Amino acid sequence: MYLDHFPELSRARLVRARSRGIAIRDRDRAVAVAFLSDGTLLPADTLVRFDVARGEEPGRRLTDALATTGARSVWFYGGDDATRRAALALDLQLRPVGGAFVHRMDTARAVRVVFRPPSQRDRATLEELQREHAPAFAAPLAEIAEVDRDAVGIVLSEPLDASWSEVRVVVYPPYRGQGHGSALFAAAADRLEATGRRVCAATETVAGRERSALESAGFRLVDYYFSAAPKR
């Protein structure tokens, strides 16, 4: 389900910021622009953005873009109507490769989570954890999350626009598998919503522990990110 006015999430922004735009021409006219990944977050033969001029048929111009750039696949958000229609018109094989989630503001909380600023000791590993788990966050607010006085993980949050903030949770290895991820996501979302913000999150897989934690914390799937490629 696509949500109007949903912002571009941090990883998608970084993927596209690192891409290279290539004009797709029909004789002397520019009919589209295809953006090719730089290879750092997605394979270098992946189109990560596709803009079509008004009045042009997306499927035809995506064919041109694939031929011009040599790309083997297209990465896009499900709410990107033009790219989705082009991929379907070409009968490309769609594979979900991640998800975008929003928080519902009507869920009950069972676990009390206390947040505190990182100590000097925490900061020794904070940069490494952010680089590994939230590399697309530019300048996130980082807080240590405690449950029953134990520091169980880190919550990172960053504004995406005037209304939305994105959250990411990292549970320390000794505390994984105990439901702390869900508790931290829920508590972090509550805090942000109390300030008037809307809260979203992303996964880079379709299923798994992070999705389960988000859904248990009251988040719902908005749409998938897809990889589309010619059928073999």
Residues 205 and 136 in one domain: yes
Residue 97 domain-assigned?
Answer: no
Residues 125 and 213 in one domain: yes
Task: Give me the pLDDT at residue 3, please.
Answer: 60
Percent of the chain with pLDDT over 90: 78
Residues 62 and 155 in one domain: no
Residues 217 and 130 in one domain: yes
Task: Give me the pLDDT at residue 104, please.
Answer: 82
Q: Please state the pTM of the whole predicted model.
A: 0.89
Task: Give me the pLDDT at residue 2, please.
Answer: 47
Residue 199 maps to which CATH number?
3.40.630.30
Q: How many structural domains is the chain composed of? A: 2
Residues 84 and 117 in one domain: no
Q: Which domain holds residue 37?
A: 10-91
Residues 82 and 106 in one domain: no
Q: What is the per-residue pLDDT across 93-151, written as a single tens digit (0 to 9) for each?
A: 999 999 999 998 666 677 899 999 999 888 888 888 888 888 899 999 999 999 999 99
Domain termination site, one of 70, 91, 112: 91
Task: Give me the pLDDT at residue 111, please.
Answer: 82
Q: What is the per-residue pLDDT across 169-217, written as a single tens digit (0 to 9) for each?
A: 999 999 999 999 999 999 999 999 999 999 999 999 998 899 999 999 9
Residues 113 and 214 in one domain: yes
Domain termination site, one of 46, 68, 91: 91
SS3 string of the chain?
CCCCCCCCCHHHHHHHHCCEEEEEEECCEEEEEEEECCCCCCCCCEEEEEEECCCCCHHHHHHHHHHHHCCCEEEEECCCHHHHHHHHHCCCEEEEEEEEEEECCCCCCCCCCEEECCCHHHHHHHHHHHHHHCCCCCCCEEEEEEECCEEEEEEEEEECCCCEEEEEEEECHHHCCCCHHHHHHHHHHHHHHHCCCEEEEEECCCCCHHHHHHHHCCEEEEEEEEEEECCC
Mean model confidence pLDDT for the chain: 92
Residues 85 and 109 in one domain: no
Domain termination site, one of 64, 91, 118: 91
